[in-house]
């Protein structure tokens, strides 16, 4: 009888140990999902230069555990209460609306999952920088319309505003560019052949291409401008 009890206890302990191993393996596997494969990080554009992820986390929902390891620019588009479970965190996130920043992930990836604890959607642009052959580009734009935010090895970032019925001109540059619409300003802006009407609208601009951004109506709009190196 005692032997039977010992055997049953050993089997029970064995099953628990196996469950722990399976759960640990499952967690480790899910933690290795690249951010571009996480379902709420939708790839909306990709070429040799960038992979642009349009991130939407509904109210009350949570992303899968995922990994950021490619140099990236992040653009926060909503004022949303969020939380996260972190496995590896090279730098503290600043998820305030309108925040635009670069992270290189040169020494450590970020592995985490993010949840939305608010009543409205959480919306972020995550632009991965895929080009590994860094080249010399033009000097920074110094026009009064542009605010330089960062100048890093693979990318340079600005913020600029196009007012209602105003025009902002960007001359042809050596580097390709990505333009992303910010905020909830009313009206729309016509940029070359692209109409920006809502936050998160974007356009890839090939190298040596001039840009004219024209405020067509309403109060205008703010933009992020990323020059790729």
> Which DSSP string corresponds to 114-165?
EEE-SSS-EEEEEEEE---S----PPPP-STTEEEEEE-SSEEEEEEEE-TT
Residues 183 and 113 in one domain: no
Residues 125 and 179 in one domain: no
Tell me, yes or no, whether 109 lies in a domain: yes
Residues 210 and 165 in one domain: yes
Alpha carbons 8 and 14: distance in angstroms, whole number: 10
Task: Indicate if the alpha-carbon torsion angle 141, 142, 147, 150 is positive or negative.
Answer: positive
Residues 26 and 97 in one domain: no
Tell me, yes or no, whether 54 lies in a domain: yes
Residues 78 and 94 in one domain: yes
Query: Domain total for the chain?
Result: 3
Per-residue pLDDT tens for 167-207? 999 999 999 999 999 976 666 788 888 999 889 999 999 99
What residue spans of the chain are helical by DSSP H? Answer: 2-31
Per-residue pLDDT tens for 36-49? 999 999 999 999 99
Mean pLDDT, residues 19-24 taken together? 44
Look at 6 and 199; give whichever has higher pLDDT: 199
Contacts of 202 (CB under 8 A, 6+ apart): 44, 45, 52, 125, 178, 179, 180, 181
Residues 180 and 166 in one domain: yes
Confidence of residue 26 (pLDDT cuts 50, 70, 90): very low
pLDDT at residue number 143: 82
Per-residue pLDDT tens for 208-223? 999 999 988 777 789 9
Residues 162 and 212 in one domain: yes
Domain range for 111 is 35-129
Per-residue pLDDT tens for 53-93? 999 999 999 999 999 999 999 999 999 999 999 999 988 88
Confidence of residue 19 (pLDDT cuts 50, 70, 90): very low
* Residue 61: alpha-carbon gap to chain centroid: 18
pLDDT at residue number 186: 61
Sheet holding 82-88, edge to edge: 66-68, 110-116, 82-88
The pair of three-digit structure tokens given for residue 65, joined into one six-digit string:
């555990």
Tell me, yes or no, whether 134 lies in a domain: no
CATH number of domain containing 206: 2.60.120.10
* Residue 170: alpha-carbon gap to chain centroid: 24
pLDDT at residue number 156: 98
pLDDT at residue number 5: 54
Q: Is 88:144 a contact under the CB 8 Å cutoff? A: no
Look at 71 and 21; give whichever has higher pLDDT: 71
Residues 26 and 39 in one domain: no
Tell me, yes or no, whether 138 lies in a domain: no
* Closest listed residue to residue 80, CA positions, set 119, 113, 53: 119
Q: Which of 97-111, 154-168, 187-201 has the lowest mean pLDDT?
A: 187-201
Q: Greatest CA separation found in the chain?
A: 90
Tell me, yes or no, whether 135 lies in a domain: no
Report phi then psi at 221, rounded to 5: -160, 150
* Closest listed residue to residue 92, CA positions, set 74, 65, 117: 74
Alpha carbons 171 and 61: distance in angstroms, whole number: 43
Residues 216 and 155 in one domain: yes
Per-residue pLDDT tens for 123-140? 999 999 999 998 899 999
Tell me, yes or no, whether 140 lies in a domain: no
Residues 26 and 53 in one domain: no
Tell me, yes or no, whether 216 lies in a domain: yes
The pair of three-digit structure tokens given for residue 12, joined into one six-digit string:
């029970």
Which of 129, 154, 178 is a domain's end point? 129
Confidence of residue 228 (pLDDT cuts 50, 70, 90): very high
Residues 16 and 69 in one domain: no
Tell me, yes or no, whether 141 lies in a domain: no
Task: Indicate if the alpha-carbon torsion angle 5, 8, 12, 13 is positive or negative.
Answer: positive
pLDDT at residue number 32: 80
Q: Is 71 helix (H, G, I), strand (E, B) or coil?
A: coil
* Closest listed residue to residue 203, CA positions, set 219, 181, 174: 181
Residues 107 and 120 in one domain: yes
């Amino acid at each position: 009888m005692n032997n039977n009890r010992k055997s049953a206890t050993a089997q029970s302990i064995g099953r628990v140990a196996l469950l722990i191993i399976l759960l640990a393996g499952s967690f480790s596997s899910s933690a290795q999902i690249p951010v571009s494969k996480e379902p709420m990080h939708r790839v909306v554009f990709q070429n040799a230069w960038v992979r642009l992820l349009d991130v939407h986390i509904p109210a009350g929902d949570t992303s899968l555990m995922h990994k950021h390891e490619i140099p990236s620019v992040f653009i926060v588009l909503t004022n949303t209460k969020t939380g996260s479970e972190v496995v590896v965190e090279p730098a503290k996130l600043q998820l305030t609306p309108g925040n635009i920043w670069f992270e290189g992930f040169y020494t450590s990836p970020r592995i985490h999952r993010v949840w939305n604890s608010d009543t409205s959607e959480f919306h972020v642009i995550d632009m991965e920088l895929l080009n590994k052959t860094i080249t010399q580009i033009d000097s920074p734009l110094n026009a009064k319309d542009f605010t330089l935010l960062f100048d890093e090895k693979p990318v340079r970032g600005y913020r600029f505003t196009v007012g209602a019925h105003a025009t902002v001109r960007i001359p042809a540059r050596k580097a390709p560019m990505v333009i992303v619409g910010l905020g909830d300003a009313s009206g729309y802006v016509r940029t070359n052949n692209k109409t920006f009407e809502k936050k998160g609208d974007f356009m890839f601009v090939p190298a040596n291409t001039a840009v004219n951004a024209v405020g067509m109506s309403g109060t205008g709009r703010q933009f992020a401008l990323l020059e790729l190196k």
